[in-house]
Amino acid sequence: MRDKLAIIGASGLVGEEFIKILKEENKFDQFEILKFRRNRNEEEAEWSLSEDLDKLRECKFIFNAASSEAAKSVGALLRDGQYLIDNSSAYRMDPSVPLVVPEINAHLISTTQKIFANPNCTAAILCMSLHPLQKFGIKQLIVSTYQAASGAGKEGLTELRAQLKADKGATLSTNVFGYRLGGNVISHNSAVRGSDKEAPGFNDEEFKVIEETRKIMNLPTLPVSITCVRVPVERAHTETVVLDLEQEVSVEELRKIYRDQAGVKLVDEAAKNYFPMPLEAEGKREVLVGRLRKDPTLSQRILFMISGDQLLKGAAWNAYQIFEVLLQKISIAER
Ligand code: 2RA
């Protein structure tokens, strides 16, 4: 009998990518796949688990591409031998739950753990570029993001597409981003935490990247300065990074490191002004890294840019990689 694999949020962008990957990796037919979709009842604002809980109790593996509320409901009913890979933010900062980017911390995946958190997309692709430099000592990080509309789901993508097609003065829906994103650049659409004691004025996306980067990299006190911005791009997030290291490293050495690093693709041809771009990152499992250079006034400061498909390495592909490692560890444990 095949094990059951549930996908919660199967009709969202991340759920759809996860299903596509299962098919590409020849896993789809190895499991009995149960797809749970949002809004079967269009009147309901949020997907309801109540009628599906019994079905979920029978599933060995559950991938949540829906809300934190869905993740909490599922997390509360998990019994031994059931596993939740959660793409929401519900468990990411829970000290008892590993926050996993397999190239960095696959050792945290164990069969005794029931929940595995998949990181925020912006943090996941960022950490892919930081990890190979950890041996030089990471002292300080300054990041600016250029985030795609589909990071806000199908609704965000639809809103941007409608705006890009419309005349400049036309009245259009701005429900997702608050302002017209087409032809514009706006501060990330998550809530600004006005009175937060730790960092007033930062928004939720910035907080997630700061906290999650520290957890994934196992650098709990790393100074991180970040500004998250939404740009009128359909898919793939871009980030510019300024990194202060303990040791000096040459650009040639950096190029070699990124050329050899699994999950990363070096895109760094100055003569052609060919550097990471979202249109090139779209659909790729690797994170593009390039525009590598050193600050001429600070020898231990390096600068670069990255572009990564936030639906793949930032979500579905990373979750699938966690699933693969988990399957291998279960198979070893059962021998
Ligand atoms: C965004 N980080 O792009 C989100 C996607 N999960 O807004």
Q: Do strands 4-8 and 61-64 pair parallel, antiparallel, or not at all (unpaired)?
A: parallel
- Phi first, then psi, for residue 30 (nearest 5°) are -80, -15
Q: What is the pLDDT of residue 207?
A: 95
Kindly report, residue by residue over 101-152, the tens digit of the pLDDT.
999 999 999 999 999 999 999 999 999 999 999 999 999 999 999 999 999 9
The CA-based angle 307-309-312, given to 5 degrees, is 145
Residue 47 has pLDDT above 80, yes or no: no
> Which residue segments constitute the domains of the chain, with CATH numbers given?
4-119+315-334 (3.40.50.720), 123-309 (3.30.360.10)
Q: Is 271 left (phi over 0), alpha (psi -120 to 50) or beta?
A: alpha
Q: What is the pLDDT of residue 1?
A: 87
The pair of structure tokens assigned to 103 is 């190239």
Residue 50 confidence class, pLDDT cut points 50, 70, 90: low
Residue 40 has pLDDT above 90, yes or no: no
Residue 42 has pLDDT above 90, yes or no: no
Q: What is the pLDDT of residue 199?
A: 75
Residue 272: CB atoms within 10 Å: 6
pTM score of the predicted model: 0.95
Q: What is the pLDDT of residue 37?
A: 78
Contacts of 152 (CB under 8 A, 6+ apart): 176, 177, 189, 230
Ligand 1 centre distance from Cα of residue 271 (Å): 33
What 3-state DSSP class applies to 20? helix
The answer to whether residue 228 is catalytic is: no
The answer to whether residue 188 is catalytic is: no
Ligand 1 mutation pick, 157, 205, 210, 213, max ligand atoms within 8 A of CB: 205
| Residues in the ligand 1 pocket, defined by CB under 6 Å | 120-122, 147, 151-152, 205, 310
Kindly report, residue by residue over 144-189, the tens digit of the pLDDT.
999 999 999 999 999 999 999 998 788 899 999 999 999 999 999 9
